[in-house]
Amino acid sequence: MKNRILSIACDLFGFIKFIVKNIWRNRRRTIITMASIAVGTLTLVLLQSYVQTMDMGLKADAVQKQFGHIQIAANGYFEGDENSGEHMMSLDVVNLVTEKAMELKQVDFVNNRVHLTGIIGTQKKSTIFMGISGIPEAEALMAPTLLKGKLLSASDPYGIMIGNAMAKKLGVDIGESLIAFVSTASGSQEAISVKVRGIYDALMPEQEKVIIYMPINSAWDLMLEKSSHRILIFLNDPAKLDQISQIMQDFIQKNNLHLEVRSWEQLAVFIKQIVGMFQGMIMVVAVIVFLVIIFNIQNTMHMAIHERFREIGAMRAMGSSRMEIVRSFLAEGFFMGLFGALAGMAIALVLMPYINSLHLNLPPGPGSDKPTPIMFTASSAIFLHALLVNLFTAFFASIFPALKGSKIKIIDALRYV
């Protein structure tokens, strides 16, 4: 058995050595072909790494600053207006659900939010606002980037955070007072005095102009009732998302609560749209790379067959079967794809940390005035995908030339000059 394995290993080594020598006969042509494969591999790896980095950043930002991992709200809330007072949960229901969630070891923390709209300003200037209010300790963990001042605090129930654009528009700074007006569900007009505690910076200027963050107690004072729109549950193990969602759904049904559960993946539709667009771009690039590699390998293989016309005839005359000829040329195409792909991946591994260290940026996207950083994340899945794509393409591109080479007639090959 050992001798048989050793014999097979020796035969395989000899076959690979023979293939590599054939590939290296015309070094210039082989290098050009493998260089095109390397460039295609490098392009695929860099593009996929960038999209993966962007995807991870968008998801992390959506979970941490907007949706949480799981949201619970009254039936009909997610299909309606998030600022509407029509679908509200009483404080008793909120406390009951929160208590259940905090019993689970997979839950990190829970927040409940109220959304309201109104007018905020000074005696001289005012603007429309959209208020996001929640438990101050939880809101501090979800807060956008703070430019100056402090985050929300339970010790300062009327201290709010406003966007940098709103602060400029109203001409206010840290410590200055504002008046917030809202219309309650009963139709009355309510107002409270608030103080600018912090000024934040957001990716979208429109967010800075209208969104303010405030403690939930100040929102309750404006609404004249203690109720919430949403309960946000944050997990310390995101892999348990489906499990915790099901536990909370079962709890809601058991207690006959008129609530519904949504995961952040169901709510963050815009992320799927953005990532889907970039994945479409990757597919287009992959097709282009696929076609370039096919063209180059087929050209190289046709030239090799033309140069080795008599050699193929001699091999056939010495007893080599057509299948052995096909196997030989397929192996040559496969190894050119392998070496080219490995070269491209090696270049990518060197370039990614270097490009990251340069802190390059793309121009701001639509609706944003902040540049988009160019960052790459190395991933074994991306490298494996690029390798498999190139190996498949190289193998596929070699099929037609290999079949053509195997059909050469012995008599025609031996008298070929």
Quickly tell me which residue has 């591999």 as its tokens.
41
Mean pLDDT along residues 333-359:
89
Is residue 195 predicted with pLDDT exceeding 80? yes
Instruction: Report the pLDDT value the prediction gives residue 252, as an integer from 0 to 100.
Output: 93
Lowest-pLDDT choice from 136-140, 146-150, 294-298:
294-298
Six-digit token pair at 377?
A: 């994340």
Query: In this model, does residue 196 exceed pLDDT 90?
Result: yes
Average pLDDT over residues 411-415: 64
Q: Is the pLDDT of residue 389 over 80?
A: yes
Q: What are phi and psi of 411, to 5 degrees?
A: -65, -40
Task: Using alpha carbons only, give the angle 231, 183, 159 rounded to the nearest 5 degrees.
Answer: 60
262-277 pLDDT, tens digit each: 998 888 887 778 778 8
**The pLDDT of residue 417 is above 50:** no
- Check residue 239 and report its DSSP letter: G
C-alpha count within 13 angstroms, C-beta hemisphere, residue 323: 0
Q: Minimal CA–CA distance to 390: which of 327, 333, 308, 322?
A: 333
pTM: 0.77
More confident residue, 195 or 224: 195
Eight-class DSSP state of 63:
I
